[in-house]
Amino acid sequence: MRNGLSCSRTRNFRVVPTGDSARLDTPGVFITTGCPARQTGAVLVMSMVILVILTLLAISAMNTSLFQTKMAGNAQDLNRAFTAAESGLSNAANLGNAIDLNLQVKNSYDYDVGTHADVTSDWLSNTPPKRGSGYSAISYDSANFNLTSVGTTTASLNTAKTELHQGLSQIINKAQ
Q: Domain boundaries in the chain?
A: 74-173
> Are 87 and 109 in contact, with CB atoms under 8 Å apart?
yes
**Per residue in 108-123, pLDDT tens?**
999 988 899 999 999 9
Amino acid identity of 75? A
> What string of DSSP letters covers 63-115?
HHHHHHHHHHHHHHHHHHHHHHHHHHHHHHHHSGGG--SSS-EEEEEE-STTE
Confidence at residue 30, expressed as pLDDT on a 0 to 100 scale: 54
Q: What pTM was computed for the model?
A: 0.64
Percent of the chain with pLDDT over 90: 51
| pLDDT, tens digit (0-9, with 9 covering 90-100), for 42-86 | 899 999 999 999 999 999 999 999 999 999 988 999 999 999 999
Query: What whole-number distance in Å separates Cα of residue 25 and Cα of residue 83?
Result: 93
